[in-house]
Amino acid sequence: MNELLLLLAADATSSPANLKIWAYFAFIGLVVLFLALDLGVFHREAHEVSMKEAATWSVVWLTCGIAFSGFVYAAYENHWLGLGLETAKYSTTEAIKAGAPLIVSGEVQGFEAAKQYLVGYVVEKSLAMDNIFVIALIFTFFAVPPKYQHRVLFWGIIGALVMRGGMIFLGAGLILKYQWILIIFGGFLILTALKMALIKGNDDVSQNVAVRLCKKFFRVTEFYDGQKFFTKRTLKPTYRKDASGKDVMDPAPAGSLSAAWAITPLFLALILVEVTDLVFAVDSIPAIFAITPDPFIVFTSNIFAILGLRALYFCLAALIQKFRFLKPALILILAFVGVKLLLLSVPPYLEVIGMNKADPIKIDTTVSLLVVVGTLALATVLSVAVPARVVSEGRTGPTQ
């Protein structure tokens, strides 16, 4: 066993690429620890999340996400575990003029890496806001009891971690090999922004393909069996109060259990939350590749952004309708990162369509950070300063 460990250690130190694997393992281990504490300690029993609890957790996750930029700075500056060495990065405009490819492998310093992480984190966090609208719609449609909503979001986050991790590393591999894919990413972001601005989404959750397939191939109950995703009950559970006043579920009546498992509405809600995250990941992951092609920065900023999504949901679900300028802000952010990516990726390929080859335009990371943060801040201020007007009993006036 000791010889095997020595061989693994020798292989890991043979190149920065091998060392970086341990950085990913360490980060994933940290995330697993966070999630284990969340479900196993702080939310062991199903309960309705209060605004105070949600606000506290939002601050905790936001602090962790921003504080991680300090680790990124130190790790890339000192090249811990090979971070910052042989790292994918966009070439400078001068280098591309001299004939360098759009994406090269080289050294990335700590300050630049920290800026890239923060821009990616803010972009992903802001795009997650739109996700909250849809999750609120799903929970309302399925009438998910408030005390079970955290469980759905918890397992939804785990599914999101797996899906986004796979998409990020697939995307990173593709753009390193086929750099023209960045043009597709940029165009997709522009089209998504236009779609959000011009086309209203379908609010009928029952017409979702995933829900219809589940109901077609599986038995689905019309009731909840506590916080279970699957049940053998055929009758709606009844409850009684225990000595402490808590609701305790009564055992199923004799002979009422089915031999086959059935899906509860809670599982259907989970499926839709997963599908929703997949749809939004298709938008948000290309957006962060506009900031950096470094998969470690893309992965860590993305994961930290969605880790706080549950607490953010409980904070904003009831208030988000008041932020009337948030969606236009998200549209502008998507359009900005799409244009940023196209300005960087299109010019070297203009000669393919018969035009003169041009130099790419690279928007500085600091400028990107200021644009994204400034857009969100302006949307928040305008939402407070210019409240929506509603029609009530024949009168039109500002909301209270």
Per-residue confidence (pLDDT) for residue 2, from 0 to 100: 45
- Percentage of the chain with pLDDT > 70? 88
Amino acid identity, position 215: K
Q: What is the mean pLDDT of residues 75-81?
A: 94
- Region at 185 (left for phi over 0; alpha for psi -120 to 50; beta for the rest): alpha
Per-residue confidence (pLDDT) for residue 3, from 0 to 100: 45
Per-residue confidence (pLDDT) for residue 45, from 0 to 100: 73
User: Over the stretch 195-248, which tens digit does the pLDDT of each residue have?
Assistant: 878 876 555 666 677 778 888 888 889 899 989 999 999 999 998 888 877 888
Q: Is 25 helix (H, G, I), strand (E, B) or coil?
A: helix
- Mean of per-residue pLDDT scores for the chain: 83
Task: Average the pLDDT over each of 30-39, 104-113, 345-354, 383-392 and give the range with the smallest value.
Answer: 383-392
User: Over the stretch 127-152, which tens digit does the pLDDT of each residue have?
Assistant: 877 677 778 778 878 889 888 998 89
The per-type count for the chain, helices as H runs and strands as E runs, is: 13, 8
Per-residue confidence (pLDDT) for residue 105, from 0 to 100: 92
The answer, as to whether pTM is greater than 0.75, is: yes
46 pLDDT higher than 80: no
Amino acid identity, position 3: E
Tell which residue, 125, 113, 127, 68, has the closest CA to residue 307.
Answer: 125
pLDDT band at 394 (very low <50, low <70, confident <90, very high): very low
Strands (E), the chain: 87-90, 103-106, 230-233, 239-241, 247-249, 257-263, 389-392, 395-398
Q: How far apart are CA 311 and CA 34, in angstroms?
A: 14
Cα–Cα distances (Å) from 69 to 31, 66, 73, 74, in that order, read 15, 6, 6, 9
